[in-house]
Amino acid sequence: MSYTLVIHGGAGNITPAIMNTQQEAEYTIALKEALVKGTDVLRAGGSATDAVVAAICEMEDNPLFNAGRGSVFTKKGLNEMDAAIMDGSNIAAGAVAGVRNIKNPIKLAREVMLHSGHVLLCNEGAGEFALKQGVEMAPDEYFFNKSRYDQWVEIRDTDYTQLDHKGDNLKGGPVTPNTGHKFGTVGAVACDAMGNIAAGTSTGGMTNKRFSRIGDSPIPGAGTYANKKTCAVSCTGHGEYFLRAVVAYDVSCLMEYKGLSLQEACDVVIKDKLVKMGGEGGLIAVDALGNYNFCFNSAGMYRGMRNSEGKEIVGFYGM
Ligand code: ASP
């Protein structure tokens, strides 16, 4: 039985200079646990979609990552989360945006895909749907995280937003120095034993975001995409650029219409087109043959891969 799982925990200014040995160990454990959770599903003959959900739930439950429990704070001091899942076997998609108090937004995204008759639900409406589906909720305290809170306090009186893993504001010069942890959005892509592929992404978005800002993560084709004919992709980075570049679908299109390989398509989009636009970040991708790719134009990306051949990779820094 052949399968592959690839995950990311955010891309950005992730360098040996900002990580100490203990942080490296913490991230290694966290990424390996997510790989184990997802590949347990695949080894048991489960679907790529369920493996993606299992791996992402593990990272949503870990405050190291900007998703679920570790989500960043909005301008109003709230946690508003976005997530999406796509099943490449039938191009089904489910997504939620701006949701609050949902313990695992990726599970709610799967409910939307399977049981709502819609693709994308947002804000209170998505919360109502979560209650109807019996999706697990959590109180505000569950989402409180001191380092994320401090990150927000530093810029809450400004109009700046901040990419969790970047340390620069998105309007002008630096707001906070690039010290501290660099946490990030999470994602997973999988190829299961039946040769089906799936992709999922989950995030708290950007620190100090306002006006119900939504990034690329929950938008099918931008931050998340899966089509068995081509590839499954989950992105992380400055969402406004990934939205405009329709990054995940562009990778798929280059494979479908131009015959590029998975790696070639990822390189064109992330290392050429996105760079020319000024967009920073990366992606993970897998195709239906189990070929996989990590691709980023930032200093680093928390990432991992585990497959049925017993191969396991965990990495943070530039390749
Ligand atoms: N892409 C996410 C967003 O813009 C952020 C991230 O990947 O860290 O909401």
In order of start, what are the domains of the chain with their CATH numbers? 4-90+144-317 (3.60.20.30)
pTM over 0.85: yes
Quick one: average pLDDT of 53-81?
A: 95
Which of 4, 49, 185, 207 is catalytic? The answer is 185
Quick one: average pLDDT of 127-143?
A: 97
Q: In this structure, what token pair is assigned to residue 168?
A: 């620069």
Residue 258, pLDDT > 60, answer yes
Ligand 1 pocket, residues with Cβ under 6 angstroms: 10, 66, 163-165, 184-185, 203, 205-206, 215-217, 223, 236-237, 239, 242
Q: How close is the Cα of 230 to the center of ligand 1, in Å?
A: 24
Report pLDDT for 316: 95
Nearest alpha carbon, ligand 1 atom 8: 185
Task: Between 159 and 119, name the one with better pLDDT.
Answer: 119
In the annotation, is 201 catalytic? no
Q: Measured between alpha carbons, how far is 173 from 314 in angstroms, rounded to an integer?
A: 33
> What is the chain's mean pLDDT, rounded?
92
Q: What is the DSSP letter of 197?
A: E
Q: Please state, in angstroms and as integers, the Cα–Cα distance from residue 101 to each residue in 64, 137, 139, 152, following that order.
A: 18, 5, 6, 19
Report pLDDT for 153: 81
Angle 294-33-288 from CA coordinates, rounded to 5°: 40
Q: Measured between alpha carbons, how far is 40 from 205 in angstroms, rounded to an integer?
A: 29
Residue 170, pLDDT > 70, answer no
Kind and range of the H or E run holding 282: strand 281-286
With a pLDDT cut of 90, the percent of the chain lying above it is 84
Quick one: average pLDDT of 178-204?
A: 84
Q: What is the pLDDT of residues 175-190, one digit of tens each?
A: 333 333 344 899 999 9
Q: What is the pLDDT of residues 99-112, one digit of tens each?
A: 999 999 999 999 99
Residues 49 and 85: beta-carbon distance below 8 Å = yes
Q: What is the pLDDT of residues 1-25, one digit of tens each?
A: 899 999 999 998 899 988 899 999 9
Q: What is the pLDDT of residues 216-235, one digit of tens each?
A: 999 999 999 999 999 999 99
Residue 293, pLDDT > 50, answer yes
Q: Measured between alpha carbons, how far is 136 from 163 in angstroms, rounded to an integer?
A: 27
